[in-house]
Structure 1
């Protein structure tokens, strides 16, 4: 018995001794020091590592790292009879670390796996890594740039290399062909170019290979890359020859073929439910459309084809929304044989994986980005937030999508936001129910004969908008020649508002024969009247339908007046938008050129902001912010969404009118130009207002839609400050408001621009956002200015504002301010007479803002 007890005691003692030896094992000091250096190089503000437990206690930019972040170090403590631990795996994910990849990683000789995904690392991959025996490298979603380093080919132990969603450029180095053990190679979503090296064909162990979303060179069928077993991944021309072109696309994503009826008839949505998912799936149909999917869900317990499509057959939703296709990272639908032209894309969504009850399944959050033709159209898109519910259909329309090379691409991208384990592990990433793409000018067709017919229809439809312009012009010329007087149209009722001609008799009566009592403004090309129709004793000052209108009288003897008259009829009558002033009609009789507009109760933005004290309006910040968004939406429509792409050329506060509810509407299209799609710019004589004209246009007549972007930036600064760009001279010697804003930006005092009348009750975050956007818009380089669609998305929080605002050149020499400095020197030498100072813009209500210098063609 004693011996037995002794043996038990000995056994317990040995076990305890072994545990003590293991607990005494620790990471060598040189590796601990290396880890600290690594954290510093990565830009981590905090770092605390316990060498005894091999545990990261603190890392990241904040004291408490983000909930979705992953941070761990794994050690192998089997060395030197279990007394020494070495770092073998390092994971630092979703920490937004802003530094560079650390060369000190090579000081961890036993490290085999690194995962630094979803950070903000810049630079490239250090050459020191080539000396290591790494098996796995994941640098997914960072900002690494330059060429993919050749020295990666020296890490022959690699089995997994993930470089997706960085900014690598140049050709794929042939040295990667030396990675004979590689099983996964993902280089998608970079900026890679050229041909693929033939050495990649020798990677016999590859199971996952993704090169999508780069700019590789199309290759001839006879080139070796198209014949050596990797044609599935190479853009070989034979794969994309088009026997016919389509003008529409309808896909039931993740579902079966389904016919949808609407008021226009029946549409077949082709299903793709039979296509299985996978880490790097590529599907291409016989009809020249397909999709690709990248990434691997976190859980691998279900069949992948189930994990890449979801369904809710018991739902009461329409058939189109009962199924959906999902992807862990990117999901892209494409069509390689589309007719060139403008299209409307409708994306259909319904959240069918989360619930709206009070269970944990309702806590899920799906967030992803939407790109169409490579342009970010929605950032941080959340289906449930858009519908305020789950299992509720949502249609996201995206207008004016241009196809110029017969290729359509719609991409959904998960940027690591939202939940990843609710309601189940692996439920995250983009989800889409259906896609509809329809031409703006062609009937839906896949055959050539129908396309010919649709082209004719499109041509006729496009011409209709110009009929009123051409006929009005010829009719006016003919009537002037014969000197006759027009009668009212037969069948036309007094007071009818129609997009056509008004009789002079009608307008004379309405304006009391152009009485000064009805005059509400004076523009550069003539007066503006508020109609007082006097057609019915009970309806003084109104037309019979109760509508007030404004009449702009142009000089028929003025060449510019003639041009403005024709321009406004031809352009405004063709476009309609809530943020564009509406043209009701026109009159051209004898010597009279009259334009009839909707009446805007609150006059112009210029008068509201910096008019005389009795004319100024009290505009709080929320109203000013709404006005900024409205102007941006109006311009985005002109540039990107209307059938005719229009450059306004004279955006300024006096050409923005305010209705009864202070909604902004862009007016005065007398200087507008059509932006021809096949031309990079319009060469034209300069016309507009000094202080609002972009420098490349003012100096060289180089006109693009970015000129309007520049003008918008100036107007936005005026809205924030309540000061005129041309008339406000800051005490610091700045040339104008924009110059002053640039100075305040350099001094990191953007709020110094705010109108004192706003008081303390304003959203400082929104103010700074608008100032930053305005400074982007007024960049001296047009290539660095955003588009107006991007401006709208930035204002509405759908798109991040670039962190770095490009700084202007030396202000005294800045071309943006040269004209204003010259003008100020001229003013200092002589005082302008009242009639000189009034030569400004023509708008519907207020007199021109004093001090504006208007240039006409």
Structure 2
């Protein structure tokens, strides 16, 4: 009598990317090989229908019917994993449990035959060019644990039938063209541990997610979702939360189990409702007991506080509190004891005051510090290894650069208390042009002289040209806490459009948050024109998933917003195409042009690779579009003096001329006498 093994037979070529779905392989014995049957006929037909719809190139060699899909005696077809090959009176078949078709450049819609794969636990269709709606019958695959539809062009609404997938542990539909609200039925996915719907196009309320108490990771940024964060404060296993660039508002709540949280990125919150007391302090008590926290970003969250009461966070390395309404002093002694691992601190755009020496701890002295646009004073020379952005503070640049034009320029831009004493500035003419992120002095036949902006910019950094009186300022770190990302990008791809040599557009300056340019010394007046050249050279053309990224940023000139959610690809109608944007009737006051490119949490983060977001600019040009105003008229006395001066000059000229003629006549006469 034949003894049957109860261990499942695993027929696999590609493994799942989800560790929770990994199945331990059992050695294939002789007995196993005898009992193993072919792929279930319904699933076999489903796979072949999917091939017909999508023409999967890796499956083409197997379409002659000579090799079974699961192939119990060998390996399964590419991208397929099988298991549960059984034998019995009524069954002798293998079942498909994993289908990984990521990055196969698949076009078209989702075939309905997917619902026939009733043993499927892992379905990965990410990074393709899938379009159309998601079939509601996808919700019939009750065995699914991992569903990834991210980075496609799927549209219409997210089907409510996905709420039937109650065994689902990971759900991803980021970077698509969905519309409409998150379906209420998603609240039924109570086994869900990871949810990614960033840049998906959905709207609706966060309240839908309230039942998902087991969520460990939630990416919800760059969507039009609304509501308040209190809706998700009951997650008991939360480790990573990213919500910014949305319509979410209110105060940051206390989380149910803060000790597990490692990454907390919340930004661009709408102010608290009018029913809340105005200017109520944020006590940061929600951070208490977050002992595992390493990355904390609360940028532009309408936070108001008159102290710096961040609780003890021993493992925190990155802290961003930029663009809030925070007050008070930050003391290094506090940072030393409560934030000992902190190496990156961004507090720009607040109202912190005090001395620089009060802020810099031992860990920060070799790190990145942004204190821009705060009334902070101090001496820079004591911190030679610190990368610091101090524009808009009360710090005198002479403490670092001495009594020089460079110091005068930096002080002139941000230190109003020193501006009246600065006289060491030249008048800068127009047009004035900057090549952002590169040096193009060797490129021939350019219409303008482009100043060199090729130096590296750190996460909190300033570069300046003291001779030509311009400054570039950068703030922002490409998370997760990666300082190796360059602040400029380049390509060898050909560039179309533009009026200059294409090499001018093959490089650009990028920033993770805030990129500013200042040109100092222009005559005050109206009628200036500012021009920018843009060309998207990182996000590729949309003939593959690598072109599905979306870069958005805002543009300000002289503090006025001239572009909101500017998208280079949309404006130029494609990647690697130059688009020139011109803004006229710009007024110059205080001899300075202030240009600001700012990321506000919108756009994709990671296409075609991580850190693909934030401002990107190729060139800047400033022109005086109208003639300078006439000089003030002269008084009558000045005019009379001018007439007398002109008459005197005319008489003197006549006397000189007659004298020369007389000498010339005498010389001619003398020559004739000598000749005679």
Interval containing the TM-score (normalised by the shorter chain): 0.3 to 0.5
If the length of structure 2 is used for normalisation, what is the TM-score? 0.47
